[in-house]
Amino acid sequence: MSTGNTTPKLNADNYYGSKDYMSVSLFKAFAKCEASALATLRGEYEEEKGEALYLGSFVDEMLTGTPESREKFLAENHDIVYKRDGKLRENFARAQEAVTRLNLYQPYMLELLSGEHQAIMTGQIEGVPFKIKMDSYKPGEFIADLKYMKSLRSPNLFQPMIQYWGYDLQAAAYQEIVYQNTGHRLPFYFVVITKEQPAHYEVGEIPQEDMDAALETIRQNIVHYWDIVQGKVEAERCEDYNCDYCTLTHVVTEPVDTNTFGMSAKQRKAMKGEV
C-alpha cells in the first residue's frame, strides 16, 4: 500500500539524524512542550540523558540488537556501563541478570522478540511524513516493543500506565504505518521487564479501541506540530514547573499573581477563563 512519500529513504545509519519525518518521540516531545521540542530539534537545547535511558538501551541491545550494534553500544558507552575494574556497574549488572532470566525462563517473551529487529518503515499521517523503528516485527503476525521500566504500576492512580507514558501513541502510530506499507493491521505487544528486585515480567496487548483513540489524538495534533517544525507557526512555551527548558530560558518581565506560582501557562490561562 503506497503512501506517496517522497522524503529521503531511511536506514540504520541516518534514522535518528533525519529531520524530514515526524516520529513518536518527537510528537510526544511537542505534546509536552512545543518550545522545548523545537529547540531540541534545532540543536539549541539538549536534555541531559539520565541513566534510565542508557539502561533501556542496554536491555534493548542485549535482547534485540545485533552483535555489531551491541559492540558499538558498549564501546560508545563504556564508562557509563562498566566500572574501572571492567565489571558492570550495579544497575547494569541487575539489568543483565534480568535479561539472563528472560532468556532462560520466558520462551513466550523470546518468541515475541524473535521478529525482525529494529525494522524501519515510513508513511504519512494527515499528510505528515512519519517514521517508525520497531524492536521486533514479524510480517503478517505482530509488532512488539521491549520496555525496561521502573514498575508496571502507573505513577497516576487515575490513568493507566500505558497512557501515562504515551505508549498508546507509539502502538497506534506503529500499527498505522505498518498498515500503510503492508495492508495488515497487526496486534501490538509490549514485552516488559521491570527494574524491581526481583524483576517482574509481563506481556501486554493494547486493545484496538485504545489504539484507535490514540491514533485520533495524533491526527488531531500532528499537522499543528509539523507546522511548527516548518516555521509556519510559532511554538508555545509550556512554562510547566518541571520543564527544564522553560525553567532555563525563563525571563522575568513583570510580577504575576502569587496564586499562580508554580502553575503552567495552560493552568494560568484556565484560571483566567481563556481555555
Total residue length of the chain: 275
pLDDT tens digits, 16-28: 887 899 999 999 9
- For residue 255, is the peptide bond before it cis, meaning its omega torsion is within 30 degrees of 0? no
pLDDT tens digits, 65-119: 888 889 999 999 999 999 999 999 999 999 999 999 999 999 999 999 999 999 9
Identity of residue 244: D
Position 275 scores a pLDDT of 67
Give span(s): CATH 3.90.320.10, the chain. 24-229
Torsions phi, psi of 117, nearest 5? Answer: -85, 140
- Check whether 2 has a pLDDT greater than 70: no
Going by the DSSP 8-state scheme, the letter that residue 1 receives in this structure is -
Rounded distance between C-alpha atoms, residue 21 and residue 10, angstroms: 10
Angle between helices 24-32 and 167-182 (to 10 degrees): 140
Torsions phi, psi of 120, nearest 5? Answer: -105, 135
pLDDT tens digits, 134-163: 999 999 999 999 999 999 999 998 899 999
- Check whether 11 has a pLDDT greater than 90: no
Take residue 59 and report the three cell numbers written for it. Answer: 536491555
Find out if CATH 3.90.320.10 is the number for domain 24-229: yes
Position 6 scores a pLDDT of 59
pLDDT tens digits, 183-210: 999 999 999 999 999 999 999 999 999 9
